[in-house]
Amino acid sequence: MTMDIRDIHTPVMLERCIELLAPALESEGAVFVDATLGMGGHSEAFLTRFPGLRLIGLDRDQDALRIAGERLAPFGDRVTLVHTVYDGIAEAVRGAGVDRVDGILFDLGVSSLQLDVADRGFAYSQDAPLDMRMDQTTGPTAADVLATYGEGDLRRIFERYGEEKLAGRYARAIIAARAEEPVDRSGRLVEILIAATPYSAQRSGHPAKRVFQALRIEVNRELSVLEHAIPAALGTLRVGGRIVVLAYQSLEDRLVKREFAQASASTAPKGLPVELPEHAPRFRLLVKGAELATDEERERNPRATPVRLRAAERLREENA
């Protein structure tokens, strides 16, 4: 029996995203960029809700592009899909023949597709080859990282990207284990991590959770990509255009918060009696702080539990 993609993929905070982006997308011919297309759930809803909307959908995962392409086929030439990492947003927009866009959505982190397909190696709950590449056509795998990084580098990524307190202990355990046999499957890595975790620490959560997160971020360069992607995205928005970002872990959210704060701040020198137009903020924030999913949505869709939503609107051009 074939399962409908809608049965396994529930877009996070969909109605809130539509509500925030709607004022920028209601005009005929508006252009919307889904910078993290995934299986196309958000994009399908936007194309349905706004009949005059054009979509530019980006994803580095070719499986996701294939599935989303089939799902969005009924919308015909309103859809342009691009195989790219989302820090290539400006090039993708220009390649689609567009100067400025009206709305942008980032739904960060690992997708339902990547989590649910066991052989991708993202989930510590299923034994699989340690791949973790969102784009399986390029770059080193998680197994490559575990095979080649020294103890110091493994500790660094576990600390920085996983905020793991036992980073040093885990790094030493992996180095010792790989001397005996390759650590190239998720089940093997989980065994190593559990064995290296004091019993008291195991009660506070699965020992593999933060290490798997750190490996995924390292393999896909997620934070460095995001650091370039947000300014690039802001630069593609027209005046009145809006951007919404859904982040699922604190490192991503802090980066988005920083970029939004900088874009929405006045650049007037301290002590200037009057703010000149060129110093006025380029953007305004649309929500106060980071908005969370409702209790109802968290119960209905557990993947919405950690989400943090931020949104902004462009007020002026750079030199206006």
Q: Is 149 annotated as a binding residue?
A: no
Q: Is residue 111's pLDDT more than 70?
A: no
pLDDT band at 199 (very low <50, low <70, confident <90, very high): confident
Q: Is 97 annotated as a binding residue?
A: no
How far apart (Å, rounded) are the C-alpha atoms in residues 217 and 158? 10
pLDDT given at position 278: 67
Q: Is 40 annotated as a binding residue?
A: yes
Strand pairing of 308-314 and 237-247?
antiparallel
Q: Residues of CATH 1.10.150.170 domain(s) within the chain?
A: 119-220
Q: Is 107 annotated as a binding residue?
A: yes
When mean pLDDT is compared across 73-82, 131-140, 267-276, 281-290, the lowest value belongs to: 267-276
pLDDT in tens, 210-236: 999 999 999 999 999 999 999 999 999
DSSP-derived 3-state class of residue 157: helix
- Return the number of other C-beta atoms located less than 10 Å from residue 69's C-beta: 14
pLDDT band at 1 (very low <50, low <70, confident <90, very high): very low
Mean predicted lDDT score pLDDT of the chain: 90
Superfamily of domain 5-107+222-314: Vaccinia Virus protein VP39 (3.40.50.150)
Q: Is residue 110's pLDDT more than 90?
A: no
Alpha-carbon torsion, ordered 120, 122, 128, 134, to 10 deg: 20
pLDDT given at position 103: 98
Q: Is 87 annotated as a binding residue?
A: no
> What is the pTM for the complete model shown?
0.89
pLDDT given at position 117: 58
pLDDT in tens, 260-298: 999 999 766 776 666 666 668 999 999 999 999 999 999
Question: How many helices (H) and strands (E) are present in the chain, helices listed first?
Answer: 15, 7
Q: Is 42 annotated as a binding residue?
A: yes
pLDDT in tens, 149-178: 999 999 999 999 999 999 999 999 999 999
Q: Is residue 121's pLDDT more than 80?
A: no
pLDDT given at position 18: 98
When mean pLDDT is compared across 2-16, 71-85, 109-123, 131-145, the lowest value belongs to: 109-123
Amino acid at 233: A
Q: Residues of CATH 3.40.50.150 domain(s) within the chain?
A: 5-107+222-314
pLDDT given at position 2: 42
Q: Which CATH class is domain 119-220?
A: mainly alpha
Q: Is 150 annotated as a binding residue?
A: no
How far apart (Å, rounded) are the C-alpha atoms in residues 34 and 104? 6
